[in-house]
Homo-oligomer: A and B are copies of this chain.
Amino acid sequence: MEIKVMKNIMYANEKTANENREFFKQNHITAFNIMASPGAGKTSVILKIIEALKDIAGIGVIEGDIASSIDAEKIEKTGVPVVQINTSGGCHLDANMIKLAVRDLKLRENSLLFIENVGNLVCPSAFDLGESIKMVIASVPEGHDKPHKYISMFEAADIVVLNKTDLLPYIDFDKDSFYKGICLLNDNVPVFEISCRTQDGIKALLNWIGDKMFK
């Protein structure tokens, strides 16, 4: 019975994810599902993108958190429309939450949509939201072994961002091991090394995102 219920949940999620995907396609919306550990810098990366692109593209943000609206408040200050989803203990976003949140955002055509998932390197990878691009953010202080341990997440990624490179001088981070772990799972995925603090690498990341927008 347990398995059957799980299958029903996953089937229902996939169905709604496909509806979301169709909606994004019809409206020329490029939707990013941003996944990472707690504190890896999901909101900081979104803020950097908003800062650079808000005058040239429509942007909307959906903030997923178990509780609080701390991140949504930061986004709100930029003037970009944002919807907060509180999962009340739930460890990931699902397609139906996105379906409902997108209605409130009222995005114009050719927009970028950034969906910040719950801070969790495990569960969010199992739930398709209908997104165009899965962005996984790792951060230097988490250590180089993360791709070796959190396989589904790095396997599913369309882009990997390594944030907080400004901390490299103070941490034993073995870049070779990090890249090797990613290569074993997903050998063509682009990896961008950035620091939201110093701006290092942000430009290259923005160029990649610009190229992925619906033309």
Contacts and interface: CB of A to CB of B under 8 A. Distances in A.
Contacts of A139: 39, 141
Contacts of A211: none
A213 interface: no
Contact of A68 (B70, B142, B148): B148
Interface in A101-153: 118-123, 126, 139, 141-143, 145-146, 148-152
Contact of A2 (B5, B122, B143): B5
- Most B CB contacts (10 A, CB to CB) among A8, A142, A148 go to A142
A146 B66 contact: no
A5 B1 CA distance: 8
Contact of A121 (B119, B146, B150, B167): B119
Contacts of A9: 2
Contact of A120 (B5, B122, B148, B167): B122
Number of this chain's copies in the assembly equals 2
B167 A38 contact: no
B37 A145 contact: no
Nearest to A9: B2
A120 B150 CA distance: 11
A94 interface: no
19 contacts: A1-B1, A37-B38, A38-B150, A39-B139, A39-B146, A66-B122, A66-B149, A66-B150, A66-B152, A67-B149, A89-B126, A89-B152, A91-B123, A118-B122, A119-B149, A122-B123, A123-B123, A141-B164, A167-B167
